[in-house]
């Protein structure tokens, strides 16, 4: 992964204020509240807001990101909430997770570089046990129209890094989709997710 990609996220997470706030994403919060706690992975977890929330619910939480500054903030947030999370820094290929290790994987605005995003999804699939759940929310390809109107809503500005329902179906073929939809939502997450945007949301259970 290019150094400037890592530098971008280190810079974003190096400020005292949390880039996307300290509260969990509303979608993952809603879905986690309905599941029995087990072992969960948060890829591209940034400053840890979702991972810490899961830990507070009783999940055994693993997370990773390419940003060391993100890890620092995540561990700070975990400590202030009297929880612990296993947070690693590096690219997915350098992680040592095991096949069938997780009961759930939460991909919340995990916009991996376009060249590797589908490949990463396939790797992550191997880490999820049969019957396990993926919870996903990220910007759709139609989101570019929203960014052009208001940059404060955030998100990638290249269409290849954004998602379509068809891509999700191809990347996760062996799943029963409990929910899979594109929709407009109003975001209010910290400094960088504010305003109307277009997202893909899905919950899929591995067959």
Alpha helices, DSSP H, located in the chain: 3-13, 26-32, 49-57, 68-80, 117-127, 143-149, 165-171
Q: Does domain 3-206 have CATH number 3.40.50.150?
A: yes
Query: What are the tens digits of pLDDT across the range 40-82?
Result: 999 999 999 999 999 999 999 999 999 999 999 999 999 999 9
Res 1: pLDDT:
58
Give percent of the chain with pLDDT exceeding 90. Answer: 97
Res 3: pLDDT:
80
Domain boundaries, the chain: 3-206
DSSP 173-190: TTEEEEEEEEEEEEEEET
Ranges of residues in the chain whose predicted pLDDT is under 70? 1
Res 116: pLDDT:
94
CA distance 162 to 20: 19
Structure tokens that stand for 162 in this block: 């954004």
Whole-number CA gyration radius for the chain: 16
CA distance 205 to 203: 7
């Amino acid at each position: 992964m290019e150094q400037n990609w890592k530098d971008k996220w280190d810079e974003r997470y190096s400020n005292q204020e949390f880039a996307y706030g300290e509260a969990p994403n509303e979608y993952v919060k809603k879905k986690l509240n309905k599941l029995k706690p087990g072992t969960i992975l948060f890829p591209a977890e940034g400053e840890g807001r979702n991972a810490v929330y899961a830990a507070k619910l009783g999940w055994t939480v693993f997370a990773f990101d390419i940003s060391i500054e993100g890890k620092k903030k995540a561990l700070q947030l975990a400590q202030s909430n009297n929880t612990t999370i296993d947070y690693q820094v590096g690219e997915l290929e350098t992680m040592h997770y095991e096949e069938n290790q997780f009961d759930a994987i939460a991909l919340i605005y995990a916009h991996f570089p376009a060249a590797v995003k589908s490949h990463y999804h396939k790797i992550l699939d191997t880490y999820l046990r049969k019957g396990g759940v993926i919870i996903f929310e990220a910007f759709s390809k139609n989101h570019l129209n929203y960014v052009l109107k208001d940059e404060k809503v955030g998100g990638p500005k290249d269409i290849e890094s954004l998602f379509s329902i068809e891509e999700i179906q191809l990347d996760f073929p062996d799943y029963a989709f409990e929910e899979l939809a594109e929709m407009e939502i109003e975001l209010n997450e910290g400094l960088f997710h504010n305003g109307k945007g277009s997202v893909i949301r899905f919950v899929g259970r591995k067959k």
